[in-house]
Structures are given as structure tokens and as C-alpha cells.
């Protein structure tokens, strides 16, 4: 029942945290672990800390970039412990578990966790549709990455158990595309979308590539909230192409 759910650990420094995270996954019934450029893996220390979850480590996928880890996912939720310059749609752990439960039956979803010392970068968080934050004590808000994985994995499992009992998550239902007439576009296609959009804005003279300010990030936030389906995606790509054609025509007229 969790075959479409993956836990992604980015640039983990301590092998022990990878092992502990694998254990956290298995205790909640999850199996998919993806490691983005880990400092040390495989590792005997990770296997020791996995304590019976070595099968999760054995099937863990190691990739070079976050883009590769989430390319086929249509829902990506990134863990963030602090507020950012540009606010992003934010869920608490329970809401994240419910949303994952609602959408994982339709397409792959990813829960992304960052480095032990500084979490996920702004650029990495901008690749997520939502951020999730675990409320901790203000005097000591330091949560070990494996502990954070355990909390979120628990909420995912609880959401599935409640769904089996027929309890529908009313609060997060509006966030999920269910039912929907077209498939939601995965992250890999949206990366092409953002590149095309930015290029069209530059060629039309609307965006100064030397001084983009916060526009690219705000564009990402807007379309991440919308979460385009395939028809909407194709429509917008057509608009961008027309913008580029018109900009080229105007340039040629000025030269002529």
C-alpha cells in the first residue's frame, strides 16, 4: 500500500542517520529509500543502526541530485525547520501524512529531508510543492533527521489506517487532485516548464536575466500551488512558444 511513497535523504553526512532512517521507514511499513549524494554509503555503521532493516538499505537507490530523485513524482513535500524569505505552502506533519495518503494511490510522491547541519537549501525547497514542519519546543528545536523521518512516516501510516476505516481527511482533501480528469504533471516536466517560461520572459523583454530578483522563485511557487495537469501544461507551453515567436517577429521588424 506504500509502493508509491519514497523517503529522500539529501547529502546525509552520518551513515548512522541513514541506518536509523531505514529503521524508521520499516517500522511504519515504508520501503523506498532514496539517497542523494550521501557522504558515506554503503556503510557497516548504517547497517548496524538499521537493526533489522538492512533490506531497506539493500534496495536503497543512490542518485547524484535531488532532481533525479523526484523526477517522476507529482507530489513532493520537503521538510523545513525554519521560515524562508519567500513563504511556501506549509503543512504540519499530520496534514502531510494525509495528503500523501490521498495522492499516493494515483502517482509517486516524495518526502524530502535535508542535511543534518542545515537542512534543505532554498533551491531544493523550491522544487517541492509543499513544505512540512514539525512543531518542536522553542528552546530546543533541533530534531535529528532520522527522528524527523520517524515522525512523518508515522503520520503517513496513521493516515492510511484511518482511510482503511473510512475516515476521510476533510482538511487536506481540497489540496489533493482527486478526482481529476487528467494526470498531474511530474516534476521532471515542470522543470522544463519553468525553463521555458523564464526563457520566454527574457526573450519578450519582461525579465532581466541579470537582475531577476525574486521572480523565478515566485513563479515556481505560483505554479507549484496550481499543480498543472497535462492539458493545462500543454496550453501554457503553447503560450510561451507564441510569446517567443512574437518577440522574434518584433525584433526582426526593428532590424528591418
Average pLDDT estimate for 153-165: 96
Mean pLDDT for all residues in the chain = 93
Quick: pLDDT tens for 33-63: 999 999 999 999 999 999 999 999 999 999 9
What pLDDT score was predicted for residue 95?
A: 96
Instruction: Give the largest CA-CA distance in the chain.
Output: 73
Res 1 pLDDT > 80: no
Peptide bond into 151 cis (omega under 30): no
Q: Which residues pair with 10 in a beta bridge?
A: 36
What pLDDT score was predicted for residue 251?
A: 86
Map grid coordinates 510569446 to a residue: 243
Domains, the chain = 5-175 (3.40.1280.10), 187-255 (1.10.8.590)
What are the two backbone dihedrals, phi and then psi, of residue 138, each rounded to the nearest 5 degrees?
A: -65, -30
What pLDDT score was predicted for residue 38?
A: 97
Classify 85 in phi/psi space as left (phi over 0), alpha (psi -120 to 50) or beta. Answer: alpha
What pLDDT score was predicted for residue 83?
A: 63
Quick: pLDDT tens for 188-207: 999 999 999 999 999 999 99
Share of the chain above pLDDT 90, in %: 82
Res 152 pLDDT > 70: yes
Average pLDDT estimate for 19-36: 97
What pLDDT score was predicted for residue 204?
A: 92
What pLDDT score was predicted for residue 171?
A: 82
What pLDDT score was predicted for residue 254?
A: 85
pTM of the predicted structure, to 2 decimals:
0.93
Give the pLDDT band of residue 71 (cuts 50, 70, 90): very high
Give the pLDDT band of residue 142 (cuts 50, 70, 90): confident
Amino acid at each position: 500500500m506504500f509502493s508509491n511513497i519514497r523517503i529522500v535523504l539529501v547529502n546525509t553526512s552520518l551513515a548512522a542517520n541513514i541506518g536509523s532512517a531505514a529503521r524508521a521507514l520499516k517500522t511504519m511499513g515504508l520501503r523506498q529509500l532514496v539517497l542523494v549524494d550521501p557522504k558515506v554509503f554503503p556503510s557497516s555503521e548504517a547497517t548496524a543502526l538499521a537493526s533489522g532493516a538492512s533490506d531497506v538499505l539493500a534496495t536503497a537507490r543512490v542518485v547524484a541530485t535531488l532532481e533525479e530523485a523526484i523526477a517522476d513524482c507529482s507530489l513532493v513535500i520537503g521538510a523545513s525547520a525554519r521560515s524562508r524569505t519567500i513563504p511556501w505552502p506549509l503543512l504540519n506533519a499530520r496534514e502531510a501524512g494525509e495528503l500523501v495518503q490521498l495522492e499516493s494511490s494515483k502517482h509517486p510522491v516524495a518526502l524530502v529531508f535535508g542535511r543534518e547541519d542545515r537542512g534543505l537549501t532554498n533551491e531544493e525547497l523550491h522544487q517541492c510543492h509543499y513544505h512540512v514542519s514539525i512543531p518542536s519546543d522553542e528552546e530546543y528545536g533541533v530534531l535529528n533527521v532520522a527522528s524527523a523521518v520517524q515522525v512523518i512516516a508515522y503520520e503517513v501510516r496513521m493516515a492510511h489506517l484511518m482511510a482503511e476505516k473510512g475516515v476521510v481527511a476533510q482538511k487536506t482533501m481540497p489540496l489533493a487532485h482527486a478526482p481529476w480528469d487528467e494526470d498531474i504533471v511530474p516534476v521532471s516536466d515542470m522543470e522544463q516548464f519553468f525553463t521555458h517560461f523564464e526563457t520566454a520572459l527574457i526573450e519578450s523583454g519582461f525579465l532581466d536575466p541579470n537582475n531577476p530578483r525574486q521572480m523565478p522563485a515566485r513563479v515556481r511557487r505560483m505554479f507549484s500551488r496550481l499543480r498543472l495537469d497535462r492539458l493545462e501544461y500543454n496550453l501554457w507551453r503553447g503560450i510561451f512558444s507564441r510569446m517567443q515567436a512574437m518577440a522574434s517577429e518584433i525584433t526582426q521588424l526593428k532590424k528591418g
